[in-house]
Amino acid sequence: MDPVPELDQDPGFVSATDVADRLRLVDYLPDDKIAGTVYLAERLFKPILVEGPAGTGKTELAKSIAKATNARLIRLQCYEGLDEAKALYEWDYRKQLLHIQSAAGTKFDENDIFSEDYLLTRPLLEAIRAEDQVVLLVDEVDRLDIETEALLLEVLSDYQVSIPELGTIVARRKPLVFLTSNNSRELSEALKRRCLFLHIDYPSAEREREIILARVPGISDRLATQVAEIVRSLRSMDLKKPPSVSETLDWAQTLVILATDVVTDQELQDNLHVLLKNQGDIAVASKRFGGLSA
Ligand SMILES: Nc1ncnc2c1ncn2[C@@H]1O[C@H](COP(=O)(O)OP(=O)(O)O)[C@@H](O)[C@H]1O
Ligand SMILES: [Mg+2]
């Protein structure tokens, strides 16, 4: 395949502050570390490996960056058993077979059926070939089998895909790449080496308050502050599964629907199941909060 000239990269973000401002415009509230890492990744053309507890805004970060930059989001959702044919490309066997059948009796060139026309493009190849601006999200990469993880390496370090029958396809415009992981298993050193590392933990009460205000229409400042404080105190308890930001938002939404002004102890007790999904945790929290109000 002929080498293709690189397209001009978009100027992109001008500073970490610019990243933060533009994320806020699409209702994503970053902290300095998140904004700084995204800025650096874009400048260095490096993928970001985002790790941290569930529901802390890892996937949402990639989606929000796409939105903030008017880029197209291409998502590869990882799962056990995902293979090359679903992640990179596969040959359209049906079409190839039809071609062979229709050419029966005549001589045909085998190269014909290993050409672009017979190629089915999957997310990684699609991101590499894209001519428009793209954000590639490789979501929950820790769910991949370790052998499949190796498929990512060429894409992540060289922004290219090798197809034996066609040659090497090099990105004309390097996509910004996000990989997310819930840390269900240790990722390979080779993969980690290619990425910038970003750990997203639970937000501070102040940032969570802002997230609530941005994401729950109609909530009062006072209620958002109270919700954020209560969630913070829940996370300081020794719980099996502390509430995530998604659960905070569900609860805040619930309170708005119930037209709550201020959360009373009774309401908190009644709604703990929205925040906590483990009966043991609910018992622990119920006792603690009950004890406080007695
Ligand atoms: N910093 C943030 N700003 C705005 N919303 C956030 C933020 N972090 C989390 N959220 C909210 O929490 C939800 C869950 O986040 P998500 O990215 O799906 O979590 P995960 O870390 O498991 O990928 C999102 O849909 C979003 O509404
Ligand atoms: Mg996610």
Task: Give the CA-trace dihedral at 98, 99, 100, 103, to 10 degrees.
Answer: 120
Ligand 1 contacts CB of residue 59 (under 6 A):
yes
Task: Write down the pLDDT at residue 140.
Answer: 97
**Residues with Cβ within 8 Å of residue 43, at least 6 apart in sequence:** none
Give the pLDDT confidence of 189-228 residue by residue, as tens digits: 999 999 999 999 999 999 999 999 999 999 999 999 999 9
Residues composing the chain: 294
How far, in Å, CA of 50 to CA of 228, rounded? 23
Separation of CA 61 and ligand 1 centre (Å): 7
- Two tokens at 229? 């404080």
Q: Work out the angle between the directed axes of helices 245-257 and 205-215 (0-180°, nearest 10).
A: 50
Tens digits of residue pLDDT in 60-94: 999 999 999 999 999 999 999 999 999 999 999 99
Which residues contact residue 238 at a Cβ distance below 8 angstroms, ignoring those fewer than 6 apart? 284
Mutating to test ligand 1, I would choose from 245, 248, 251, 253 the residue with most ligand atoms within 8 A of its C-beta, which is 245
Q: Is 29 in the pocket of ligand 1 (CB under 6 A)?
A: yes
Considering the chain, what percentage of its residues have pLDDT values greater than 90? 82
In this prediction, residues 123-127 reach a mean pLDDT of 97
Region 275-292 average pLDDT: 87
Is the dihedral angle over the CA atoms 44, 207, 213, 49 positive or is it negative? positive
- The residues that bridge with 177 in the sheet, in sequence order, are 136
Question: Which residue minimizes the CA distance to atom 10 of ligand 1?
Answer: 57
| CA 105 to centroid of ligand 2, rounded, Å | 53
From atom 7 of ligand 1, which residue's Cα is the shortest distance away? 57
Q: Does the global pTM surpass 0.75?
A: yes
Which one-letter DSSP state was computed for residue 14? S
Ligand 2 centroid – CA 140 distance (Å): 7
Band of residue 293 on the pLDDT scale cut at 50, 70, 90: very low
CB of 260 sitting under 6 A from ligand 1: no
Distances (CA, A) of 195 to 49, 153, 198, 264: 6, 10, 9, 46
Q: Whose CA is nearest to atom 27 of ligand 1?
A: 246
Predicted confidence (pLDDT) per residue in 247-261, tens digit: 999 999 999 999 988
Name the nearest CA neighbour of 45 among 193, 190, 174. 174
Decide if pLDDT at 137 tops 70: yes
Q: How many Å is the maximal CA-CA distance in the chain?
A: 90
Q: Is the pLDDT of residue 294 over 60?
A: no
Q: What is the average per-residue pLDDT within 172-199?
A: 95
Report the mean per-residue pLDDT for the chain. 92
The confidence band for 112, taking pLDDT boundaries of 50, 70 and 90, is: confident
Q: CA 142 to CA 146: how far, in whole Å?
A: 9
Regarding the beta carbon of 54 and ligand 1, being less than 6 Å apart is answered yes
